[in-house]
Amino acid sequence: MKFNSKYIDRPVKYWATVIVSTLLLIGIAVSLEVLSYTNNYRIDLTPEQHFTISDQSIKILKLLEKDITFTAFYQRGDRKEYNNFFRLLSNHSKHIKYRLIDLDRFPGQAKLHGVTTSGQTISEYQGRKEMDVHPTEENIINTILKFIKDIRRELYFTTGHDEKRERGQYLDISQQLKYEGWSINTLNLATDNIPAVDNTLILIPGPKKDFFDHELNELSKYLKQGGKIVVLLEPYTKLPNLMKFLKKYRILTGQGIIIDLENKLLAGDYLAPLIPFYANSPITKYLKTPSIFPTAMPIFIDKKVNDDSSIAFLAKTSDASWAKINQEDVKRGDIDFVKATDKKGPLTVAVMVMWTHKDDKDENEEEVLDGALVCFSDSDFIQNQYVEMMGNKDLFLNTLNFLNQEKDLISIRTKKYEFPFHHMTDAQGRMAFITLVVIMPLFFIITGIIIFVYRKWRG
């Protein structure tokens, strides 16, 4: 009996194909696993960005040059959450090390570390230790800052002139400042000694009563010694002494209140203009969205005075804005632009004066601040109800970090999430209305008519 060779070769070819295909699939799967492990990319689709840390936190993590170890104690059900959190941190720094210990299974370990409740986390860095109540992004990053930025950072709120308070209108921004390592204090220039200039800032937050001459003399001495001052003003507030003080440093305060009918939030107040134009500066280079300044006044730069200081704007309004001079007209709602009296935009709303010198020891010869004065023409933009809106928080905090000569902390921070929303300007609102109410329905109507006519023609 003879056998046909082609029937013998067929099963061999079949199994050879199966084996080779299987090996190829395994090879592809292993390659994808290796690529996914070495190139960790993720997209966070949660509305509150639960699985994303802020640019500010990433910059701080990248400042780590030595290992920092976190020991977190958890109860049943919390391990996955803690593990995901620390893995997220370690994705941005190889120096993040962590251990997770079950509080119920290892009570002896907890006792040795002085831990009594779930969530307590021990941070260790070069022989130093800190304990946090719970491993949140704010707590952990604040702890890292304490370790790597071992400097004093103090902000003094002036008092005695009916200013806004750090525990009242500015409670939210004060908490954010503490999270970033600032110590918050108050300063009454009439009775208190002015602080030393090193790593301190003085904030004048929207005063309603004027300063005495000797108080302003103390501020001048502070500036001359290398101090940094931030002034927040309000329109229609009579402060002749303070205005004279600012004028001495080339900052001229204008009259009136800024109005912008085009660049404002949808259905928003025309007295709360968006601030879309920023200077090309280290403070504002990361800002991608406008700020919003409720009730702002114009300020100007005195270009005639020449001294050893440099002065430049930080932020401006749009071309469509103007400053309404007459307060009574504004109260009546008569906001039309009057060419004879009102001032057309763009208008400056933030100015910085600096005294600097070149650092000869630095290879790049970067400029070192010998003193600075920053003036914002609105004090409401960092109040509790506005600080999380648009670019407000980043503009203010980046200014403080720049003045404190900590450029590596200038970035964009995570926005507070409360409910899904999106700030829209009037122009964006009109575009959305036209698209959703006019264009899309019209498209479907025209499409339906075309299909109907086509079927009739074919039928």
CA dist., res. 366 & res. 292, Å (int): 32
CA dist., res. 388 & res. 381, Å (int): 9
Residue linked to tokens 């919003």:
292
Say if residue 179 is exposed, middle or buried (CB neighbours under 10 Å; 0-12, 13-18, 19+).
middle
Residue linked to tokens 């003003």:
233
So what's the pLDDT on residue 293?
A: 95
So what's the pLDDT on residue 77?
A: 83
Residue segments in the chain with a per-residue pLDDT below the cut of 70: 1-10, 36-51, 150-151, 266-267, 305-306, 359-366, 412, 414-426, 459
> Which pairing describes strands 274-275 and 291-292: parallel, antiparallel, or unpaired?
antiparallel
Closest CA to 342 of 319, 326, 318, 320: 326
CA dist., res. 274 & res. 292, Å (int): 4
CA dist., res. 59 & res. 47, Å (int): 23
pLDDT digits (tens, 9 = 90+) for 147-196: 887 667 899 999 999 999 988 889 999 988 987 888 999 999 999 999 88
Q: Judge contact between 412 and 56, C-beta under 8 A.
A: yes
| Ordered DSSP codes for 62-85 | TT--S-EEEEEEE-TT-HHHHHHH
List the domain boundaries for the chain: 1-39, 55-147, 151-409, 427-459
So what's the pLDDT on residue 267?
A: 64
Residue linked to tokens 């992004």:
137
Closest CA to 53 of 174, 149, 124, 144: 144
Extract the tokens encoding 216: 């302003």
What CATH number should be reported for the domain whose range is 151-409?
3.40.50
What CATH number should be reported for the domain whose range is 55-147?
3.40.30.10
So what's the pLDDT on residue 215?
A: 96
Task: Residue 454: count other Cβ atoms within 10 Å of its Cβ.
Answer: 10
pLDDT digits (tens, 9 = 90+) for 183-230: 999 999 999 999 888 889 999 999 999 999 999 999 999 999 999 999
Cα within 13 Å of Cα(20), Cβ side: 6
Cα within 13 Å of Cα(34), Cβ side: 6
Say if residue 382 is exposed, middle or buried (CB neighbours under 10 Å; 0-12, 13-18, 19+).
buried
Task: Residue 236: count other Cβ atoms within 10 Å of its Cβ.
Answer: 12
**Under the phi-then-psi rule, with left for phi > 0, alpha for psi from -120 to 50, and beta for the rest, what region is 267?**
left
**Residue 13, beta-bridge partner list:** none
CA dist., res. 364 & res. 372, Å (int): 22
**Under the phi-then-psi rule, with left for phi > 0, alpha for psi from -120 to 50, and beta for the rest, what region is 56?**
alpha
pTM here?
Answer: 0.74
